[in-house]
Chain A
Amino acid sequence: MTILLSTVILVLLFVVLVYVAHASELAMVLNGEDKDTTKASRRNGYASLLFLIGFFVAVAWSCKEYLPALLPKSASLHGVETDRLYNEGMILMFLVFILTHIALFWFAYRYNESNNKVAYFYPHNNKLEAIWTIIPALVLVAMAVTGMRVWFDIFDVSKRDTKNMMVLEVTAKQFQWTVRYSGKDNAFGERIIDKEHVSPENELGINWKDAKSHDDFFADKIYLVKNKPVLVKLGAQDVLHSFFLPHFRVKLDCVPGLPTQFYFVPTLTTKEMQEYLSTQPWWQQVNPETGKQKWETFKYELACTEICGRSHYGMQKDVVVVEQKEYDEWMNKQDSYYKTVVQPTLVGNNNIPADKVQALN
């Protein structure tokens, strides 16, 4: 009913508008077209000026209101660098945006035909054009060079602190993340992707005969250690997914059949981040749903950023950054998947999983 009503109102509004518009057109013919277009130009000149001011006020207001709602400072080492690039770039671009818009709408006002009867024939000026070719070119090359340095820093293998590094394996599928830790031996059991090893019970194709797999465990949350570099080895089973840790400025696609990896160093524990946010006015606001201040429910999260099907938006996982001690305690509580799930199903000493035994029978 409301829909019908609003449609009727809308149609009526359109009809009225068309009539008004038609009438003003007739009036224009009566008044003489030249006079009328000059008047329209003057009106639009003022409107341009008004728009310029209104636009800047709206931009300033939204900056004041929403900049505090941006993600907090980076919780990873390289993120500080990319944030710096982003901020510097945005300030520069904001300046360009402001200056060109002042020129554009000011000119529209200042030189509209009611203010400036005769145009100035000025077809080109090579010096000016050279200036506005060379300056942007230099600035852009400078941005490319500084940006490239940061880019290579992030992906350059040779600079990695591999000794003290923690390795994590994350495999994505519709619509969940499987997180595998290598356990105490710091080595993953091998995976073999063939029909013998991959099964509904063993989607990753882990070779349980490989002893290194015996202390591997799957975690329902990603635990990381403060200041300990982590290498995430990424993969996907079915379709493309993308591993996104917004607070750590980490993003990389998970590709079926093609391993990818991302190296980063978390620098703030979850607690430290919460403490920092508790000092920020925006995060002190009370969330009406939970009755708590926003920083209290803050957590690091993992999200998928490559469209992967109907529940793409549901691929969430918690990420927790702790001190080494707390991490060790957590790790000691984790059960080896092999010992708790796989081994009990094995028959005899031949290490054949139960489902395969049934197949043999």
Chain B
Amino acid sequence: MQTVAHGDVHTQDTHHGDHGHHDHHEQSWLEKYVFSTDHKIVAKQFLITGMMWAIVGALLSVLFRIQLAWPDETFPFLETFLGKWAEGGKISNEFYNALITMHGTILIFFVLTGGLSGTFANLLIPYQIGSRDMASGFINMLSYWFFFIASMVMFSSFFIQTGPAAGGWTAYPPLNGLRDTAISKGSGLGFDLWALAMVLFIISSLLGGLNYISTTLNLRTKGMTMFKLPLTVWSFMLTAVIGLLAFPALLAGVALLEFDRLLGTSFYLNDIIINGNLLDYKGGSPILYQHLFWFLGHPEVYIIILPAMGIVSEVISVHSRKPIFGYRAMVMSLSTIVVISFLVWAHHMFVSGMNPNLGAVFMLFSLLIAVPSSIKTFNWLGTIWRGSLRLNSPMMFAIGFVSMFITGGVTGIILGSAAIDIQLHDTYFVIAHFHLVMGVAAFFGMFAGVYHWFPRFYGRYMNETLGMIHFWITLIGGYAIFFPMHFMNDIPRRYYSFANFETFNRFEDMMVFITVSAIIVFLAQLLFVVNFFYSIFKGRKVEGEVCNPWGSTTLEWTAPVERLHGNWPGELPTVYRWPYDYSVNGRDFIPQNEPLKPGEVEHQ
């Protein structure tokens, strides 16, 4: 039996005592469901807010796809809904830029960072490490409410006179560094709201991240050593580490940008001439902003994909009835990604005008970061090999994740090569790459997680039939949208229309095909939302004393179906074995809290 440091036990005991006190205190509705400090409620809040944002973000993409597919047509209903932004039923070029900007911002930060990490780190870290709650429930609650306020501020920018930010989600100065709506409508108040929302969002992220790390390090139950943690917990903790190191750089970047805009400093501005008038800014560099931005911006894609990787590792192993292949290699590759993710940011800047020698260094690391990613991919393949695969919604989405991750990942190796990037930079090829590898793939990871842990959230299953329709439309449709873009490897992105160019008018039919696919995929996601809310109330119930619908080994499934405050009614479970004892010793699975048999050797 594993012995545990005394301090560990002590912490747990104190925490347990704390909890006992809470039990006697009747919580008001507001405390229980709105300003809740319970990790499960906070997780639900993140999930549902994230879903709302996902619908908004995806809807924006449908709008600009309509413009791209039918640039000459008019759609009167657009004017009905958008008013002056679509006069005569045609989206204006200003609003087109706002749409792409907000689409990127919302999906990257509010859905795939806030929604994904916020949901699953909150739900799973306390459950899977055998803890009653997060290290600080109060900070956890703050994390959600900062996220909520950030959401409100960001959303409000849609309704102001000059419209939301319209200078790209990367918010490069000087386009976004001058508070001058003559340059771009979106660089007025809309951008200030964007910046404020981002600051609030970063605060939320940092509060959440601190909690994830300290909870994982300090509140593990008796016997739960680091190498007995499920890969989900590893991935959430390492994601939080990246966030803690990277987000402050963006905070600084955005703060300096607002100084330039509001106080007239020149951090990023130099020799700006507007309509023949030289402005007073002197000595700044727009490239400095790009460094600060991408110092977060690149690790950010790992903040998005690491939780998805963790979820997928867990889901694949459970539904293959087989241990994850190479557990330690998976942990090591996650950690390697964390380190290298901070050494690749300038591959977004190969053609920004920075020193070419710098480009060479970043190119080397950009290619090398593919090594841990390929280890993970091969290990997933190794896991399903000779498994007994239960091909249900969570498993199919996990397989879909691997497929998307490979297809999008291989082109990353092409783009990471600086000389090739000269041609491909800011083209549809890049759109194909990053949407597949971190957009669609991360969504697949998120869906796998929602279908898999829905019984843990609500004590019911999600509907399988709807899940399957959702999966196959999303898989086929996702490829239909993004695969064709690989052929458009010279077509510039963020173009409202290609009519001014002879060169770029070669893919009109493809543009229509992509838009139609996007609309179908969007509708399929609405079906998912319907399934989600339908299943909360009408879904098939999970039966049994404890909630363990999939035959899993990890601790979240040793708790009762009811979501108790404090998770377990009696004592916290003690851990004796690693999390992946599937199909071993003639048994389908052995839970982590089952003691080793006499003579049984612990898995290393």
Contact = CB atoms under 8 A, between A and B. Distances in A.
B316 to A, nearest CB: 11
A79 B414 CA distance: 15
A359 interface: no
A187 B422 CA distance: 29
A173 B487 contact: no
Contacts of B271: 193, 256-257
A58 B378 CA distance: 25
Contact of A93 (B270, B275, B284, B414): B414
Interface stretch (B131-139, B227-235, B493-501): B493-501
Query: Which of the listed residues A105, A113, A151, A198 has the most CB atoms from chain B within 10 Å of its own CB?
Result: A151
A154 interface: yes
Contacts of A14: 526-527, 530
A246 B423 contact: yes
Nearest to B406: A100
B479 interface: yes
A11 B172 CA distance: 41
B439 to A, nearest CB: 18
Contacts of A129: 326, 329, 375, 378-379
A25 B463 contact: yes
A316 to B, nearest CB: 5
A242 B174 contact: no
Contact of A312 (B413, B496, B503, B530): B496
A280 to B, nearest CB: 13
Contact of B378 (A59, A132, A140, A141): A132
Contacts of A311: 93
Contacts of B356: 151-152, 154-155
Interface string A57-88: 01100100011011100000001011001100
B426 A252 contact: no
Contacts of B406: 96-97, 100-101, 104
A255 B355 CA distance: 13
A82 B322 CA distance: 44
A71 B502 CA distance: 12
A246 B93 CA distance: 23
A305 B498 CA distance: 12
B370 to A, nearest CB: 6
Contacts of A255: 285-287, 352-353
A266 interface: no
Main secondary structure of the interface of A (DSSP, over half): helix
A119 B388 CA distance: 5
B198 to A, nearest CB: 18
Contact of A148 (B363, B386, B497): B363
A151 B363 contact: yes
Nearest to B361: A148
A339 B532 CA distance: 73
B374 interface: yes
Given A17-B527, A25-B464, A144-B417, A136 B501 contact: no
Nearest to B359: A151
A201 interface: yes
Contacts of B507: 66, 69
Interface stretch (B105-113, B142-150, B450-458, B579-587): B579-587
A81 B527 CA distance: 48
A303 B538 CA distance: 55
B388 A118 contact: yes
A121 B582 contact: yes
Contacts of B364: 141, 144, 148
A41 interface: yes
Query: Which of the listed residues A55, A111, A253, A311 has the most CB atoms from chain B within 10 Å of its own CB?
Result: A253
B494 A37 contact: no
A132 B375 contact: yes
B555 to A, nearest CB: 20
B396 A107 contact: no
Interface in A323-339: none
A70 B93 CA distance: 27
Given A119-B322, A147-B420, A104 B489 contact: no
Interface string A141-173: 101100110111011000000000000000001
A240 B175 contact: yes
B422 A313 contact: no
B183 interface: yes
Contacts of A3: 77
B464 A258 contact: no
B168 A307 contact: yes
A124 interface: yes
B465 interface: yes
A22 interface: yes
Contacts of A244: 426, 492
Contact of B540 (A10, A29, A141): A29
A89 B375 CA distance: 20
B97 A307 contact: yes
A interface bracket (residues with beta carbon within 8 Å of B): 35 or more
A100 B405 CA distance: 11
B267 to A, nearest CB: 12
Contacts of B387: 107, 111, 116, 119-120
A90 interface: yes
A88 to B, nearest CB: 10
B272 interface: yes
Contact of A240 (B172, B359, B375, B466): B172
B183 A309 contact: yes
Nearest to A45: B391
Contact of B487 (A43, A69, A93): A69
B196 interface: no
Contact of A66 (B320, B378, B417, B487): B487
Interface in A195-247: 195, 198-203, 205, 234, 237-240, 242, 244, 246-247
A107 to B, nearest CB: 5
Interface in B333-383: 351-353, 356, 359-360, 363-364, 367-368, 370-371, 374-375, 377-379, 381-382
B423 A120 contact: no
A174 interface: yes
B348 to A, nearest CB: 12
B308 interface: no
B518 to A, nearest CB: 16
Contacts of A66: 484, 487, 507, 510
Contact of B270 (A45, A67, A128, A257): A257
B1 interface: no
Given A14-B526, A66-B510, A256-B286, A113 B389 contact: yes
B472 interface: yes
B129 interface: no
A29 B168 CA distance: 50
Contacts of B463: 18, 21-22, 25
B498 A122 contact: no
A250 interface: yes
Contacts of A148: 360, 363-364, 418
Interface of B: 77, 92-94, 97, 166-168, 172-175, 178, 183-185, 269-278, 284-287, 320-329, 351-353, 356, 359-360, 363-364, 367-368, 370-371, 374-375, 377-379, 381-382, 384-392, 396, 399, 402-403, 406-407, 410-411, 413-414, 417-420, 422-427, 463-466, 468-469, 472, 475-476, 479, 483-484, 487, 489-490, 492-498, 500-504, 506-507, 510, 523, 526-527, 530-531, 534, 538, 540, 580, 582-584, 603
Pairs A-B, 9 closest by C-beta atoms: A257-B270, A200-B276, A44-B391, A93-B410, A155-B356, A257-B271, A147-B417, A21-B465, A260-B353
21 contacts: A14-B527, A17-B527, A37-B390, A44-B391, A69-B506, A82-B423, A93-B414, A107-B385, A112-B388, A116-B389, A119-B386, A121-B322, A123-B325, A129-B375, A147-B363, A147-B367, A148-B364, A151-B419, A199-B276, A310-B185, A313-B495
Given A55-B479, A96-B410, A199-B277, 14 more contacts: A97-B407, A100-B381, A103-B381, A108-B399, A119-B582, A121-B323, A124-B325, A136-B374, A141-B364, A194-B278, A200-B275, A238-B273, A309-B97, A313-B497
